[in-house]
Structure 1
Amino acid sequence: MDGRKKVLGEERRALLLKLLKNSPTPLTGSELAAEANVSRQVVVGDMTLLKARKEPIIATSQGYLYMKNDSPEPVFEKIIACSHPSNRTEEELNLLVDYGVTVKDVKIVHPVYGDLTASVQVSNRSEVKQFIERIKKTKAAYLLELTNGIHLHTISAASEKALQEAEEALRKANFLVAGN
């Protein structure tokens, strides 16, 4: 924070919302904090409040993203069940994005907590690389490590054909759970 005046309360949340809505890419908590001249922790609290107000904000590995649904072209979605060791995650994600697919999330069914979902939001190899680097840098565990490799992905694409081709490529590479 510098000598500029802090943006307070509702005015700050309105500013953060405007920044997110106008950004085509995710914005980090640090970037948002710098714009409002507050700490990153304040931004985290603001994001929680905005989400509670049903604003479609998601936290991705690259930062916060406002999920606009103003796309004129239809988006097709599918949930797929995969299984692999963590050291094949980059291969799996690259295979999917190479078919024009966005990997929206990863889900597991935890024996105690039930359904756990985390945003992934990768659509190209550059975003996959950033995601993998962030996992390595933070030494975070992949969710699939909690379920012996079994996990689900919500995938989306501009056509059903892209989803089908990506799914077939996963099958050939032995990423899909049998019966999927």
Structure 2
Amino acid sequence: MDAAARRAAILSRLEQNDHPVSAAALAREFAVSRQIIVGDVALLRAGGADIAATPRGYVLPRDSAALLRTVACVHDREGMARELEIMVDQGCQVVDVVVEHPIYGQLAGQLHLSSRYDVQEFIRSVSKNQANLLSDLTGGIHLHTLRCPSEEAFQRVRAALDEAGLLWKG
């Protein structure tokens, strides 16, 4: 398979999946290195493909009637799991995390977490990699973009975050 055909096959594979597909899994599937896949995805993005990289792999954002909303939160490292669980328990997908850095401006990390399993895997990855959180840069203050099935779901998230002491009120 030549490179152009492989890139088309990668895009097709992502279109067929609702969940992230890791570069390692794609590398095994196409019998190339992970770095080749990373390069292929970069070229697909340069060609206009809307491919998001999440901690669990690549996804194509889905067009849907769901509402995109932003919520401001504040917590320490121990509050992260509770915050994310509150969001997914109300049926919302946590699309990203965003912080406002004094030097670099807005910094964002793609998450695409939709279930408690996704949250647990994310927490496990943070722990395994001893990763710093973006919110560590801002004293715990950060934003999340949520994809919610309804305005009511978003309001339930806000109320639950407020009750848990995780909603930032500025």
The number of residue pairs the alignment matches comes to: 170
The corresponding residue for 1:90 is 81
Alignment check: 8 A CA contact 2:93 2:146 kept: yes
- Give, in whole Å, the separation in 2 of the partners of 1:36 and 1:68: 24
The corresponding residue for 2:19 is 25
The corresponding residue for 1:35 is 29
TM-score of the aligned structures, taking structure 2 as reference length: 0.96
The corresponding residue for 2:90 is 99
Alignment check: 8 A CA contact 2:69 2:148 kept: no
- The CA RMSD measured in Å over matched residues stands at 1.1
TM-score of the aligned structures, taking structure 1 as reference length: 0.90
- Give, in whole Å, the separation in 2 of the partners of 1:24 and 1:165: 25
The corresponding residue for 1:58 is 52
Amino acid at match of 2:120: K
Is 1:145 aligned to residue 139 of structure 2?
no
Larger radius of gyration: 1
Q: Which runs of 5+ in 2 are unaligned?
A: none
- Give, in whole Å, the separation in 1 of the partners of 2:62 and 2:144: 20
| 4+ runs deviating over 4 angstroms | none
Residues 24-64 of structure 1 deviation map (CA, whole Å, 9 limit, x = unaligned): 21111011011211100111111111112221111111111
Amino acid at match of 2:27: A
Alignment check: 8 A CA contact 1:102 1:156 kept: yes
The corresponding residue for 2:112 is 121
Out of 151, 154, 157, the position equivalent to 1:166 is 157
Q: Which runs of 5+ in 1 are unaligned?
A: 1-6
